[in-house]
């Protein structure tokens, strides 16, 4: 009897620069973003090279602000066969916006990305997973703006985000809009974050790999993993005056992330969000 083929997981990158991290908002005025040293293009080059070396495709949730300044980077993402998706325009938490401002942000980002990439932008991820129980109206707004899926509701308990009672796996959040949550492992009657970010840098690699395998083997579900370009960049400028918790969360094990990512890419099968979760995109011939 033949075995089922290995599950394909979704590899996702939130394309933003180090100074745009939400935790740095109290320390860095967004009006001064253009005065900062940008590192994102260089780091995306490294990520694209790593993916190409391993024959891996991914989804890049890209800020409109970044795309405007690095159009060739955006075109290269598309040219190399990856999915271009939206991270909004200005990396503002959805919980800090009203409906009109949120629509303007996601509509503006979608237009910029589609103009540069030359293909429909169907996916969205909220900065800091900032859609939750108090602002589910955002899902209707995403649908109105023409998005087909979101990866914005994290079913965990966290001090900055989370909706612990939300479904753990992809579900129809609205008629025509799929919500694809970042991956969690159900253990000890709790949802444990298992999808990347700071947890991937903090936990031993073997534990992160085990958690993802549990989701594939026990739950028989695709995992959604995410990281940021600045997480592979130990040479990024240090932000002075930040509190100890923020400093730890941002910089912990940052010098080891690229090596860990290389192992992760080799240890699992990976693909684009749209081709895993949107049936009409699943049969597309990959761009070579």
User: For residues 14 and 228, what is the distance between their CA atoms, to the nearest angstrom?
Assistant: 5
pLDDT value at residue 212: 96
Q: Is the pLDDT of residue 285 over 80?
A: no
pLDDT band at 28 (very low <50, low <70, confident <90, very high): very high
pLDDT band at 96 (very low <50, low <70, confident <90, very high): very high
List of residues 6+ apart from 223 with CB closer than 8 A: 7, 9, 10, 183, 194, 195, 212, 215, 216, 268
User: What's the Cα-to-Cα distance from 60 to each of 80, 268, 288, rounded to whole Å?
Assistant: 12, 18, 17
pLDDT value at residue 63: 98
Q: How far is it between the farthest Cα atoms of the chain?
A: 61
pLDDT value at residue 156: 85
Structural domains in the chain?
Answer: 8-282 (3.20.20.370)
Q: Are 287 and 80 in contact (CB under 8 A)?
A: yes
pLDDT in tens, 101-130: 999 999 999 999 999 999 999 999 999 999
C-alpha radius of gyration, the chain, whole number: 18
pLDDT value at residue 2: 46
- Helices (H), ranges, the chain: 40-53, 64-69, 71-79, 99-117, 137-144, 198-202, 205-217, 244-251, 257-267, 273-277, 279-282
- Helices (H), ranges, 118-204: 137-144, 198-202
Indicate the pairing of strand 184-187 with strand 190-193.
Answer: antiparallel
pLDDT band at 279 (very low <50, low <70, confident <90, very high): confident
pLDDT value at residue 6: 83
Whole-number average pLDDT of the chain = 94
pLDDT value at residue 159: 63
């Amino acid at each position: 009897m033949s075995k089922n083929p290995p599950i394909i997981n979704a590899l996702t990158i939130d394309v933003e620069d180090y100074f745009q991290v939400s935790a740095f908002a109290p320390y860095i005025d967004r009006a001064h973003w253009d005065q900062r040293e940008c590192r994102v293009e260089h780091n995306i080059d490294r990520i694209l090279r790593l993916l190409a070396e391993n024959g891996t495709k991914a989804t890049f949730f890209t800020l409109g602000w970044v795309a405007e300044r690095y159009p060739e980077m955006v075109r290269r993402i598309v040219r190399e066969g990856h999915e271009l998706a939206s991270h909004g325009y200005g990396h503002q938490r959805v919980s800090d916006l009203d409906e009109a401002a949120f629509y303007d942000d996601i509509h503006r980002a979608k237009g910029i990305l589609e103009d540069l990439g030359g293909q429909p932008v169907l996916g969205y991820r909220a900065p800091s997973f900032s859609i939750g129980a108090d602002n589910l109206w955002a899902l209707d707004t995403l649908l109105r703006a023409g998005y087909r899926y979101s990866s914005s509701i994290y079913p965990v308990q966290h001090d900055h985000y989370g909706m612990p009672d939300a479904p753990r796996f992809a579900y129809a959040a609205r008629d025509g809009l799929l919500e694809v949550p970042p991956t969690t492992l159900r253990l000890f009657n709790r949802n444990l974050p298992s999808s990347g970010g700071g947890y991937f840098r903090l936990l031993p690699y073997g534990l992160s790999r085990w958690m993802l395998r549990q989701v594939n083997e026990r739950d028989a579900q695709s995992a959604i993993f995410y990281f940021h370009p600045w997480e592979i960049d130990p040479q990024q400028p240090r932000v002075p005056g930040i509190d100890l918790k923020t400093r730890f969360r941002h910089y912990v094990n940052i010098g080891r992330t690229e090596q860990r990512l290389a192992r992760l890419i080799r240890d699992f099968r990976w693909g684009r969000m749209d081709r895993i979760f949107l049936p009409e995109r699943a049969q597309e011939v990959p761009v070579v």
